[in-house]
Chain A
Amino acid sequence: MLLAIDTSAGSSVAVVTLGGEVLAERSSDDPMRHAEVIGTLIAGCLDDAGIEVAALTGLVAGMGPGPFTGLRIGIAAARSFGIGAGLPVHPVVSHDAIALDAYRSGSAAPDATLLVVTDARRRERYWTSYAGLDAAGLPVRVQGPALAKPDDLPTSESVRLDALVVPAGALGQVAAALLATDGAFAGEEPLYLRSPDVTMSAGAKRVTA
């Protein structure tokens, strides 16, 4: 049983079986209150699923892409929950969850090309393109995740999906499928896709004219 957490867009938490069944899912689409809601979402989801922490076998962390501040909170939560429960943390590309959800729900045909788009703030978007589901039922990533101005997004995909929340249930399903097929998880680094805002110190400025 997996506890999946994603705060790359809004905040979403789910309990998913290793067979890919979503037992509980709770989300908040508020893009500013990740730190406030994360604890209640986790506790509430475990309650909804009617399971104890001891029944879990792993954590799933949505690694983004996502704007810095929010993205980290879910990853930090997944990692510290993992330490508390003595469980591994499986990193997953957050857009893969949106894509899986789209293919499974029929918003995109299983063989359609799909463009997943999320808000990157600062008038930019994160995007990833997909080419349907593979034999394991996992979305096939073609390009991305990447960052672009809205006007520069790819247009050749047959379906475009702009998402506000990454459904943690689908994130857990991606992880369950990867575990079942020994697939490759995402890296340990959060997918900020942007460097921190910094100004290099140019030495002291004159104060006298």
Chain B
Amino acid sequence: MNRAEPLVLGIETSCDETGIGIVRGHRLLANTIASSMDEHARYGGVVPEVAARAHLEALEPTLTAALAEAGIALADLDAVAVTSGPGLSGALMVGVGAAKALAVSLGKPLYAVNHLVGHVGADVLDSEDGTIEYPTIALLVSGGHTSLLLVRDLVSDVELLGETIDDAAGEAFDKVARILGLPYPGGPQIDRAAVGGDPKAIRFPRGLSLPKDMERHRYDFSFSGLKTAVARWVEAKQDAGEPVPVADVAASFREAVVDVLVSKAVKACTELGVPRLLLGGGVIANARLREVAAERTASAGIELRIPPLQLCTDNGAMIAALAAQLISAGHEPSSLDFGADSTLPVTEIQVH
């Protein structure tokens, strides 16, 4: 096995994207993603069984497309990598079964890795020399997770500082979009609706930001109260027979989400003396989040890193990249006996 610049194929199926990525060391060769998002639209959110069925259907075409894009032969691979968790268990299992069989068919080692740490691993593909500067704080925000990590070393030392105690931020966007009568997925819909709206028009609550919360939930998030506050506000308007100022509601809601995400991330950086913040996850597509993060990190003297969007949303390249880093650091492959772990903690960077 080439440990200096391993050629790795990564399989990611933790939520609704079937991702196959191929990397050589820290260089990206292919990043193919098939999404079942459209199939979930009429249900207003990701339906686990629909996602899992879609993974099985997308597996072969996505794998074939990634190989063609990378222009490599499977026989050249040094290893296969797969997301073991966290995520939707039925969805994860499709990837785990596929990865094991692929590895055995090729006689190649298999690396089972952590999805959240994979999001951090995406950053090596975006760097000149394939290194991440340590320590770094990582804010990972999607429809499935909202987590704040302290990364001292990608392959050996990742700590969970906090996470959402109820809805993921992406889910909050979906639910508020529904309140406003907008379709799924909510993120881009809220963004569109917020154009021209006043983000300060309505002061929606910032979850877990009161002094009493800050003791127990310093770096945790909560979006369920915010969603309820938006619903109450909208219902009061409707009950009074007044028009709902959708642009103002959308802008003010988005501001509340962005404010709490960025505030806690920047607070973690300053309090822990970490001068770097990395963003990851599909919600990073939100322009207002990137803008506020850029402003506040700049004024706090924190370096902000945002990988290209294709590497922020769930993808196989980040899984391959993390495995490549593990291989280069001398880590041995996983056994063939691991399973899907829907609640895999971030401290388990690789599953054996």
A residues adjacent to B (C-beta < 8 A): 5, 7, 33-40, 42-43, 46, 53, 68-69, 72-85, 190, 192, 196-201, 203-204, 206-208
Contact = CB atoms under 8 A, between A and B. Distances in A.
A192 B99 CA distance: 22
Given A76-B59, A208-B236, A198 B97 contact: no
Contacts of A43: 104, 336
13 contacts: A34-B93, A34-B97, A39-B100, A39-B101, A42-B100, A72-B94, A75-B56, A192-B53, A197-B49, A198-B50, A200-B43, A203-B178, A206-B231
Contacts of A84: 74, 101-106
Interface of B: 42-45, 47, 49-50, 52-53, 55-56, 59-60, 63-64, 74, 89-90, 92-107, 110, 175, 178-179, 181, 184, 228, 231-232, 235-236, 239, 336-340
A89 to B, nearest CB: 9
A83 to B, nearest CB: 6
B338 A36 contact: yes
Nearest to B108: A84
Contact of B49 (A38, A74, A196): A196
Contact of B178 (A34, A74, A197, A204): A204
A7 B93 CA distance: 12
Contact of B52 (A46, A72, A203): A72
A27 B181 CA distance: 51
A83 B64 contact: yes
A80 B49 contact: no
Given A43-B336, A69-B93, A80 B101 contact: yes
Given A43-B336, A68-B49, A204-B178, A83 B102 contact: yes
Contacts of B105: 53, 80-85
Given A36-B338, A196-B50, A198-B49, A79 B98 contact: yes
Nearest to A195: B49
Interface of chain A: mostly helix, strand, loop or mixed: helix
Contacts of A42: 100-101, 104
Contacts of B235: 206-208
Contacts of B42: 200-201
A84 B239 CA distance: 61
Contact of A72 (B50, B93, B336): B93
Given A40-B337, A200-B43, A81 B93 contact: no
A33 B339 contact: yes
Given A81-B104, A81-B105, A190-B56, A35 B47 contact: no
A139 B190 CA distance: 57
Contact of A79 (B60, B107, B110): B60
A72 B44 CA distance: 25
Interface hub of A7, A35, A38 (most chain B Cβ within 10 A) = A35
Nearest to A189: B57
A190 to B, nearest CB: 7
A199 B42 CA distance: 10
Contacts of B49: 68, 196-198
B101 A204 contact: no
Contact of B93 (A46, A73, A80, A190): A73
Contacts of B95: 76
Contact of B59 (A68, A69, A80, A200): A80
A112 to B, nearest CB: 35
A7 B100 CA distance: 14
A190 B175 CA distance: 32
A208 B231 CA distance: 8
A20 B90 CA distance: 34
Contacts of B97: 7, 34-35, 38, 72-74, 76-77, 80
Given A83-B74, A204-B231, A206-B235, A196 B53 contact: yes
Contacts of B45: 201
A51 B40 CA distance: 44
B52 A80 contact: no
Contacts of B340: 35
B228 A207 contact: yes
A35 B52 CA distance: 14
Q: Nearest 8 A-B pairs (CB), nearest first? A: A84-B105, A39-B100, A201-B44, A39-B336, A196-B49, A77-B101, A73-B97, A80-B98
A204 B44 CA distance: 10
A208 B179 CA distance: 13
Contacts of B63: 80, 83
A197 B175 CA distance: 20
Contacts of A69: 52, 89-90, 93
B47 A196 contact: yes
